[in-house]
Amino acid sequence: MHRRIAILGSTGSIGTTALRVIDGLNGLPKDKSPRFEVVALSGHSNIKLLAEQVRQYRPKYVAVSDADCVEEFRRQVEGLDVKILAGPEGLTKIAELEQVDTVLAAVVGVAGLQAVLAAVRKGKRVAIANKEPLVMAGQLITTAAKKYGAELLPVDSEHSAIFQSLSAGRHDEVAKIILTTSGGPFRKANPAGIPDATIEQVLAHPVWRMGPKITVDSATMMNKALEIIEARWLFDVPAEKIEVLVHPESIVHSMVEYVDGSVIAQLGYPDMSLPIQYALTYPARVPGSAKKLDLSRLKTLTFEKPNPEVFPAIEMGFEAAKKGGTAAAVFNAANEAAVEQFLAGNIKFGNIVELVRRCLDNCNAKTDASLEELLEADAWAKKEVTECLKNQRTGSKKQRTQNTQRKQLHG
Ligand code: NDP
Ligand code: MG
């Protein structure tokens, strides 16, 4: 079998792991695995790596989504037979190419939304790591997937585990979905110190090596909150049927409990190559590079309920999942904007959750929202975050001036 793939976000953590998975699959005997032809790649600003990937994989098309980087990229791949598509539209174009049957969505943030929708509307297999579009527009994406006969296959490790565990029963036999989380870097930290955590502390995830945005999300637990909404749409289950458990060993990637009390889980060492490979070769299982699980060496597997005092984001995730529509879009967008501000050194770690809370409280929640309404909600939340920060800055400047005046007056 021959598969023709486009990798959106090939320069990222998921994208580079996926290319390694593809190397492994193409190295297997022909009767053991489908062959993968890399038809298209995309990068945003890491032009050097993107150019190296083009030299190695010789895709016919490349999208450079940051239009400012296109000229430099063109210079770097001069003489190679590759069609370059510039800007966000380029990303959408490679997602809907006729020559492509499988799209791996591995861009970070809602920037991947239009491309995911385009691939779905063309009825392709979409292996989806890029969770933010599902959080923002899960209803639209899953409805379109049904309408156009697209296959949506989860790459997120928890959702891949749930997807695999769901094959043990019928949809109406599912009692609940149990999403696991490692607990991130602050599981055992003193709650009083967490809001002041530095960028370095936040980026030191105990288990997973991932891109910066999802690593920050894992520290706030926003990642789990986003995953609740992702699961709600991917598996068509209400938020009431989803539970989150902290599992620091990160061996059980998630579970499904059935009405008879049976709990089915998927286990493995933490390694994204496994869920990526399964989404690419599904329904086949083929030999891969993931280390085999040695249960006899694992002394204990522990599970605990997340502490809402330490991780208020999880409750917010349930709230946004229940409200759905524009509330979920606002929740996602406020978080994206706040994480960007944190990584730029403009706000404290603790401000991320506060800003998201504020946007969620102030938004006009609307269910069954259209794409335009969701895009408006996304833009509103991003602007609201900027406004809040501007007001805070003006507020603290005013405070400083008043304090100086008071000092001068009294002394
Ligand atoms: P990275 O930051 O490592 O990579 C992001 C990719 O998206 C890069 O190729 C980057 O290009 C590209 N990109 C960045 N900004 C834009 C933009 N505005 N438009 C188009 N492309 C852009 O992220 P990850 O690989 O860690 O994560 C990707 C997605 O997968 C996220 O949604 C994340 O939540 C999800 N995910 C990731 C996991 C992981 O283990 N990493 C696990 C589960 C889910 P460039 O680098 O060239 O600028
Ligand atoms: Mg995950």
| Radius of gyration of the CA atoms of the chain, in A | 22
Q: Which ligand neighbours the alpha carbon of 205 most closely? A: 1
Q: 305: closest CA among 183, 165, 202, 217?
A: 183
Atom of ligand 1 nearest to the CA of 215: 26
**Coil, helix or strand at residue 359:** helix
Domains, the chain, with CATH or none:
1-155 (3.40.50.720), 157-269+291-323 (no CATH), 325-411 (1.10.1740.10)
How far, in Å, are 35, 155, 276, 286, 289 from residue 23 at the CA level?
10, 18, 13, 13, 10
The burial class, CB within 10 Å (0-12 / 13-18 / 19+), for 68 is exposed
Distance 213 CA to ligand 2 centre (A): 13
Distance 410 CA to ligand 2 centre (A): 57
Q: 161: closest CA among 146, 180, 145?
A: 180
User: Virtual CA dihedral for 265, 268, 271, 275, nearest 10 degrees?
Assistant: -40
Residues having CB closer than 6 A to ligand 1 are 9, 11-15, 43-46, 65, 91, 106-108, 111, 129-132, 156, 208, 210-214, 272
Q: 256: closest CA among 285, 235, 271, 287?
A: 235
Distance 122 CA to ligand 2 centre (A): 27
Which tens digits make up the pLDDT trace of 83-131?
A: 999 999 999 999 999 999 999 999 999 999 999 999 999 999 999 999 9
Distance 216 CA to ligand 2 centre (A): 13
Q: Which two tokens stand for residue 174?
A: 């599912």
pLDDT at 400: 61
- What are the residue ranges in the chain where pLDDT is below 50? 409-411
- pTM (two decimals): 0.95
Q: Which ligand neighbours the alpha carbon of 64 most closely? A: 1
pLDDT at 406: 55
How far, in Å, are 54, 268, 341 from residue 302 at the CA level?
44, 15, 35
* Most ligand 1 atoms within 8 A of CB, residue of 52, 130, 214 to mutate: 214
Distance 60 CA to ligand 2 centre (A): 31
